[in-house]
Structure 1
Amino acid sequence: MTGPTASTTAASAPRPLDLRLVPAALGVWGATLAGLHTGWVAAALLACCGALAAAACLFVTGRRWAIGVIVCSVLVGTAGFGLAVRLRPVENHPLREVASRGESVRLRVELTERPTPVSGASAGGGGGVGKRSVVRARIRAVRQRERWHPASGSVLLLVPAETWGGLLRGQRATTTGAALRPRGADLLVLVLAVHQPPENVTRPPVAQRFAERLRAGLRDVSESVLSPRAEGLLPGLVVGDTSGLLDTVRRDFGKAGLTHLTAVSGANLAIVCGAVLLLLRAMRAPPPLAAGCAGAALAGFVVLAGGEPSVLRAAVMGALGLLALVLGRNGTALPALAGCVILLLLWHPELAVSPGFALSVAATAALVLLAPAWSGWLRRRGMPLRLAQALVAPAAAQLATAPLVVALSGELSLVGVAANVLVEPVIAPATVLGVAATLLAPWFSPLGELLVLLAAPELEWVLLVARCAASSPLATIPLPSGAPGIPLVVALVAAILLLLRFRTGRMLLAGSLLSVLLLLVTIGVRPGGWPVAGWSVVACDVGQGDSLVLATGVRGTAVVVDTGPSAAPVDRCLDRLGVRHVPLLVLTHPHADHYAGISGVLVGREVDAVATGAARPSIWSDTDVRRRARDNDAHLVRLSAGQLIRWPALAIEVLAPDGDAAPVAADRVNDASLVLRANTPAGRVLLTGDIELAGQRELLAAGVRLDAEVLKVPHHGSRYTSEEFLRAVSPEVALISVGHGNDYGHPSDEIVTTLRDLGAAVRRTDRRGAIAVLGGNRGMLTASTGDPLRPDE
């Protein structure tokens, strides 16, 4: 009995962690960060220090730690030397002087990645037109004195999304833009702000053309089979292609802690390579053949998904694991993780400052260090293995990445663990079906559509979980972003881990969680709340932008005027108001803080028409408004002064611009805003877009009747509003749609004072959230998501 028991105990005992490569990985990462932030001289000094430390340890004999120190010192010195060699030409590059003067430069470049859309507004902080993308490239030549000269170095291009979005990695192009000095720690020579399409574009490499054909096939079958919300999710889930992902889905995933699902990581590679290995093992293939086929699948998937930091980390780690399989050695995960960190940072030092890379490494380290112990603790208390693993994996990953997430976003998700547990069972089937559809769709479209159709229920479940989690009360809590948030979250994580070690602490933690749950339930079922009954107009809280909703008198139906700068806030506002049908969406003028959130209105609702102003309609061609309207079966209409549109409880009169007016210059787009006056049960509402002094003078000179009980203050309350105009309106309530802490100084203190002197109650979305105006026996009232119903007298 003694022998078997002892052997069984030894076999079941947990293997000690192999930490030998961890100090080297941390040293290489630290040295790379230090060199990127301080320059090539400091990197060279680090290389010398590493070499001296390694040489000194050679004279220490009989000490096991000396070997580890030598290895760590050599790797740190190698990292420092390699970084110094790369940094010196960057810091002394001739184009750096051009960038410091902000001059225009003409370059031939070769793209090193696919263009990535910039989230939020367009260039110019919302004042420009059209969406922007960023793309990294290598400089091949620079145009100087009417001649092309060979050049090298990395450049970051800020480009128009519409004309550059289809380019692929490896393509070459010629372009001209304003040179800017790069900010932060990087190996960039300069940043180039480009405002025109690429010129002299070459064909992509064969591998990239093939990969794009596969990705395009998946997008096409997804669009033909799936719902609008799901059609952009499947490419993101399978190959990290988020080009079709709706802003509303991005917002839900962010609040629900599910953003990692659309960033290709080790999970995707594990599913793909695991499926290949299982298939070949079932066919009794020898380990070298199985590993070789899995390696081919890994390489193909990396090309298909692109070179994201998480993809590179997972690919290198997977390659090390496959090498161990070929050699017949069962390597542990921690040395593989440390090894791939070292290799990747030596090869691509800029990963040291990549948030995606840091999040990926932190999550993987948590799965290696925390998850086994936690799942073992649950199993010893009778929980099934798969359920224990499903619970601890997202909890460990979220705990480890929480400091970084808070530093980047300023928010901590309280529903992330639960959301990840609920979606985990469907991720692998959806991914396998999506990969199979990707491989088959370009050649056998019906079969690809069938596979995507089989993945539809899984995708809809993920979307449902994300939507419910994001809309739950206190889904996220705000915390300081940047460096101040890191120690706060680290202390919170340490306190949780400490409490989990003791029985009393676990009881205290459980009691706290129960209290939070009761609080959430109380918030969710409290009487009254938002929206208030009988609202006539609502100024949605969309940040630095405009979006107003007018009730038509038909349940679930409302007119929307402007959409704000992003889809998520307006979508959330309309959801809470119960708006499912929009007979008319009015876009006052083509600035991104008024139209860029259009998908938040169009997707998931029935929108009959999208209206723009009559003055200079061609300027809308630089936006994607027309395409989005057509894609959602909404008619495009033009409004001009004199038109009147009616609904049961709403009438809208168009006051400006005049349909016969001459086209305005690009810098006068604000004054070409649509100006509307709406008759509602709460009184007359004047909607002014962003008209400034010139536009206001034109309205006053034309003798247009401007008096109204409610005024949407022009241009977020900017100082370019005349007192004469405000006196002509003489509002009882002034609504200012403005973002908290904006950089424009909106609203002007002078304008707010003038409005109050005129007897108007000033209501600001940055202080009160969404604001509703309604009429009643007690006079005009306002209510908001930030304070209770109150009279405005």
Structure 2
Amino acid sequence: MFSRPQLEERTIAFFRYPLFWVSLSLVGGFALQHFFTLPLPVWFGLVVIFFGLQVLWYRDTRFFWFFLVFWMAVGAGIHFWSLDYPLSRFRSWDGRTLSLTGYVVEKDGRYFLSRIEGFSVYSPSLLLRGKDLGSWVYSRVVLRGVFRKFASCANPGGVDLRLRWWKERVMGYLEVEEGGVIRDRSPWFTLLRWAKEQEGRFFSVWQQELWEETSLFAALFLGKKDPEFFRQKNFFERMGVYHLFCVSGFHMTLLGGILLGILGKFLPFSRRSSFLVLGFTFLYLLFCGLVPSAFRAFLMFGFYLLGKRLGRKIFSEGLLWSAFLLMMVLQPEILLDAGAQLSFASTGGLIVFMHRFQKHYRERNVVFKRIGENFLMGLAVYSVSLPFLIVHGFSFSSLFFLGNLVILPMTEGILFLSFLGVPLTIVPVLLHPFAPVLRFLLRSTSFLVQFFVAHVPHLFLDFARSADRFWGIWLFLGILSLSLSLIIRNRVKILLYMLFVPVLATPFLLPVSEEFWVFDVGQGLACGIMTGDSFAFIDVGGTIRGYGPVGETILEKFLLYRGIEHLDLIFLTHWHQDHAGNLQVFASPSAQLQVFAPENTSERGTPFIAVREPASFRLGDRVVIWGFPVTGETVNDKALVYRIVFPGARVLITGDIEEGGIDSLLRYGKSIEAEVVVLPHHGKYYPNLPELLLRTRCHTVIISCGENNYGHPNPEVLALVQRMGLQCFITWNNGAVRFWNFWGRWRVKSVGKRNL
């Protein structure tokens, strides 16, 4: 127990940053609920119990811990009502015809049904398909259609659509059959509809003035990106300035500064002027689609004006945490949004480090001061935001320093002229003096970015690649240690400690020598073999609802993730579309690639080598792939079975062979022994399957299947595997499965898939 003076001092120290502790506790509770999914009675009971404990022990030191647990329970409750509860309701409606009432909203060219009736706290959204709903945007409608859950595939470097949309509170999609507009009584959606109309009018006026520079202007000023802009996207990423083309706090701060500067010339700071500034910035926020990063800046700006109006002392930390808390209550999904995470992390880095850097940096020369401040600003931002860039697979460029020094002032000029030109769109003739200057600045920006990228040596890390993520961790620790060494004593110790951490993790992050993958490609099969710089596919999957051809949406993403630029071989078990449907994605006429497959007289599109006798093929120097032709009465039995021989391990891939094919395979005797077996036909049961598993002497089986109407995997197969004591992975439940050599010991592990 503390004495009263100690208690008062401790209480003051705690309440100096109460919003920080509230925010930290909310995030902790939200994260716990996200990963462990506590039931309603648990977190609700915690809220009630620890609220009571706070009241009873408000003078005790235990109050602090009761306070933290209480807000953690509140964070778990927010997660439950915003994500878990809507999911539990929609999960049972898959495939049913529903009639729903809500508002149609548009985002990135897609239409969603929002504010769905029947959800009192946090309403989910549904993606709308089947009809063109452009004329109904921001209107209240009644829609009737079939509800479907998103397909779920978990692969390295890929996107799990069900998980991705769930994080945005989109629970599935509605195949719209019919619907109609009903009376709209919402002032909010009326305002959004008006803003949408004004945005279209504003954009059409500028389009007539800017010509071919319109796409760059739309991306910079409104965050609207079209195919023309995406053709230049790679240059902006390599320059480290792509974030300037995403509406953020940079835009809101510039607009707020312009408005305060103009109004300050004519009006003293008053309630009226602050309302005018907030009104204009809010309209700009509506035009840009209420993106989280801009919304965060708007809230901070609003709290700043409120504090200034009330005559309070304003701390940047307080503004940031206040904006965070309000956004979390209004839009809990921002915690899972990459843009929002980067926005808060970058702002937090500037707040924590920048003013401390400036205390130690006193350069009188204007030029060197500008250069130093730009470098320190980048250092402060990346000290906190780089982990988020790595996790979300974005990129880092050492040209960011040059971008801050040259490109940033140019974009400030473009935005300054754009903001000044907004009122002039009422009379388009008045825009004529602005248009040539804007076109010149936009062209100069594009030219300089391409020039710097092409002629200035630089480091570029694409964190979509696993190897670049490894170097990104080293880079982050180096930048963070440099930042800390500039503001804390014992700088040498900090540098040594921070750089020593990745040394311990290096054995776990270095590329492995050999590995085998069974990808999660739905009701199909696609396997990958990697050894050194060599890579081969065995089957290449088919098409999945929502994903399209998996060759483009899953397998190519994996090749990019692992930095594989050259594909050596493709082997096919048979020619069905769920196994060979993406062959032309990889086996183009220009590709130096060999395809081995069973004989098929109907295949004319892709050159291949027919395997009619048992044969072996080398992949690199250490891996041998055996192909065993099998025969039987069905089409599935006229196939090839592959046995991969790694140093110290073997894998057997059986394709879709049935009972006759299994009998044919058993004739190869000990040649089919393997530690890992990919079971036949997506887990279908055959009478001779137990004998196959006994003859292979395997310890692990893998079943590749997805949503289907065939009953795969068969319960008899799962019972058989359990009786034999075999380890079993099912891609439908576990995601992609990896079998790899870790320092001489072979291991099996799945990517993992959240059960949604």
TM bin (shorter chain): 0.5 to 0.7
Query: C-alpha distance in 2, partners of 1:178/1:486?
Result: 41
Query: C-alpha distance in 1, partners of 2:230/2:355?
Result: 36
> 2:237 corresponds to which letter in structure 1?
G
Find the counterpart in structure 2 of residue 464 from structure 1.
Answer: 447
> 1:475 corresponds to which letter in structure 2?
F
1:137 corresponds to 2:117: no
Query: C-alpha distance in 2, partners of 1:485/1:167?
Result: 48
Find the counterpart in structure 1 of residue 180 from structure 2.
Answer: 200
Find the counterpart in structure 2 of residue 220 from structure 1.
Answer: 204
1:110 corresponds to 2:110: no
SS in 1 for 2:374: helix
Find the counterpart in structure 2 of residue 345 from structure 1.
Answer: 328
Query: C-alpha distance in 2, partners of 1:426/1:210?
Result: 31
* Deviations, residues 727-767 of structure 1 (Å, cap 9, x unaligned): 99899xxxxxxxxxxxxxxxx999xxxxxxxxxxxxxxxxx
Instruction: Output aligned runs, 1:306-455, within 5 Å.
Output: 306-380=289-363, 386-409=370-393, 411-441=395-425, 443-455=426-438
Find the counterpart in structure 1 of residue 172 from structure 2.
Answer: 191
> 2:243 corresponds to which letter in structure 1?
H
Is the CA contact 1:234–1:459 (under 8 Å) kept in the aligned structure 2? yes
Alpha-carbon deviation of 1:371? 1.4
Q: How does the TM-score come out when normalised to structure 2?
A: 0.56
Is the CA contact 2:222–2:288 (under 8 Å) kept in the aligned structure 1? yes
SS in 2 for 1:412: strand
Identity among equivalent positions (%) equals 14
Instruction: Output aligned runs, 1:77-116, within 5 Å.
Output: 77-86=73-82, 89-93=85-89, 95-99=90-94, 102=95, 105=98, 107-111=100-104, 113-116=105-108
SS in 1 for 2:218: helix
Is the CA contact 1:140–1:152 (under 8 Å) kept in the aligned structure 2? no
> 2:149 corresponds to which letter in structure 1?
L
Find the counterpart in structure 2 of residue 476 from structure 1.
Answer: 461
Instruction: Output aligned runs, 1:66-81, within 5 Å.
Output: 75-81=71-77
> 2:116 corresponds to which letter in structure 1?
I
Query: C-alpha distance in 2, partners of 1:455/1:381?
Result: 33
Query: C-alpha distance in 2, partners of 1:461/1:725?
Result: 52
Is the CA contact 2:30–2:78 (under 8 Å) kept in the aligned structure 1? no
Alpha-carbon deviation of 1:358? 0.7
> 2:92 corresponds to which letter in structure 1?
E
Alpha-carbon deviation of 1:138? 3.3
Alpha-carbon deviation of 1:136? 6.0
With over 3 angstroms needed to count, the CA separation of the structure-2 counterparts of 1:21 and 1:730, relative to structure 1, is closer
Aligned residues: 508
Query: C-alpha distance in 1, partners of 2:362/2:292?
Result: 34
Shifted more, 316-325 versus 429-438: the winner is 429-438
* Deviations, residues 358-396 of structure 1 (Å, cap 9, x unaligned): 111001111111111223333257566555443332332
> 2:108 corresponds to which letter in structure 1?
T
Query: C-alpha distance in 2, partners of 1:81/1:729?
Result: 58
Instruction: Output aligned runs, 1:488-503, within 5 Å.
Output: 490-498=476-484, 500=486
> 2:200 corresponds to which letter in structure 1?
A
Alpha-carbon deviation of 1:293? 1.4
Find the counterpart in structure 2 of residue 154 from structure 1.
Answer: 124
Find the counterpart in structure 1 of residue 33 from structure 2.
Answer: 35
* Deviations, residues 493-516 of structure 1 (Å, cap 9, x unaligned): 43333555689979x99xx9xxxx
With over 3 angstroms needed to count, the CA separation of the structure-2 counterparts of 1:263 and 1:378, relative to structure 1, is same
Is the CA contact 2:462–2:468 (under 8 Å) kept in the aligned structure 1? no
Query: C-alpha distance in 2, partners of 1:110/1:481?
Result: 44
With over 3 angstroms needed to count, the CA separation of the structure-2 counterparts of 1:152 and 1:48, relative to structure 1, is closer
Alpha-carbon deviation of 1:199? 5.2
With over 3 angstroms needed to count, the CA separation of the structure-2 counterparts of 1:169 and 1:239, relative to structure 1, is farther
Alpha-carbon deviation of 1:192? 0.7
Query: C-alpha distance in 1, partners of 2:361/2:27?
Result: 34
Q: 1:251 aligns with which of 218, 224, 234?
A: 234
Q: How does the TM-score come out when normalised to structure 1?
A: 0.54
> 1:192 corresponds to which letter in structure 2?
Y
Alpha-carbon deviation of 1:319? 1.2
Is the CA contact 2:25–2:75 (under 8 Å) kept in the aligned structure 1? no
With over 3 angstroms needed to count, the CA separation of the structure-2 counterparts of 1:368 and 1:233, relative to structure 1, is same
Alpha-carbon deviation of 1:411? 3.6
> 1:476 corresponds to which letter in structure 2?
L
Query: C-alpha distance in 2, partners of 1:347/1:729?
Result: 57
Is the CA contact 2:97–2:144 (under 8 Å) kept in the aligned structure 1? no
SS in 2 for 1:405: helix
Alpha-carbon deviation of 1:437? 3.3
Query: C-alpha distance in 2, partners of 1:339/1:294?
Result: 20
Is the CA contact 1:115–1:167 (under 8 Å) kept in the aligned structure 2? no
Query: C-alpha distance in 2, partners of 1:402/1:336?
Result: 23
SS in 1 for 2:392: helix
Query: C-alpha distance in 2, partners of 1:176/1:468?
Result: 52
With over 3 angstroms needed to count, the CA separation of the structure-2 counterparts of 1:137 and 1:450, relative to structure 1, is farther
SS in 2 for 1:110: strand
Instruction: Output aligned runs, 1:256-267, within 5 Å.
Output: 256-267=239-250
With over 3 angstroms needed to count, the CA separation of the structure-2 counterparts of 1:724 and 1:86, relative to structure 1, is closer
SS in 2 for 1:200: strand
Find the counterpart in structure 2 of residue 283 from structure 1.
Answer: 266
Query: C-alpha distance in 1, partners of 2:469/2:129?
Result: 30
Query: C-alpha distance in 1, partners of 2:584/2:343?
Result: 44
SS in 1 for 2:163: coil
With over 3 angstroms needed to count, the CA separation of the structure-2 counterparts of 1:106 and 1:258, relative to structure 1, is farther
Query: C-alpha distance in 2, partners of 1:350/1:304?
Result: 21
SS in 2 for 1:286: coil
> 2:163 corresponds to which letter in structure 1?
R
With over 3 angstroms needed to count, the CA separation of the structure-2 counterparts of 1:464 and 1:80, relative to structure 1, is same
With over 3 angstroms needed to count, the CA separation of the structure-2 counterparts of 1:375 and 1:135, relative to structure 1, is farther
> 1:276 corresponds to which letter in structure 2?
L
Is the CA contact 1:138–1:154 (under 8 Å) kept in the aligned structure 2? yes
Instruction: Output aligned runs, 1:294-309, within 5 Å.
Output: 294-309=277-292
* Deviations, residues 596-647 of structure 1 (Å, cap 9, x unaligned): xxxxxxxxxxxxxxxxxxxxxxxxxxxxxxxxxxxxxxxxxxxxxxxxxxxx
Alpha-carbon deviation of 1:20? 3.7
Alpha-carbon deviation of 1:337? 0.3
Is the CA contact 2:222–2:287 (under 8 Å) kept in the aligned structure 1? yes
SS in 1 for 2:232: helix
Find the counterpart in structure 1 of residue 726 from structure 2.
Answer: none
SS in 2 for 1:264: coil
* Deviations, residues 80-126 of structure 1 (Å, cap 9, x unaligned): 44444455642441x32122xx5565644423x42215xxxxxxxxx
Find the counterpart in structure 1 of residue 149 from structure 2.
Answer: 180
Query: C-alpha distance in 2, partners of 1:267/1:410?
Result: 19
> 1:34 corresponds to which letter in structure 2?
L
Query: C-alpha distance in 2, partners of 1:499/1:219?
Result: 48
Query: C-alpha distance in 1, partners of 2:594/2:114?
Result: 38
Alpha-carbon deviation of 1:405? 0.8
> 2:207 corresponds to which letter in structure 1?
E
> 1:176 corresponds to which letter in structure 2?
G
SS in 1 for 2:225: coil
Instruction: Output aligned runs, 1:16-31, within 5 Å.
Output: 19-31=17-29
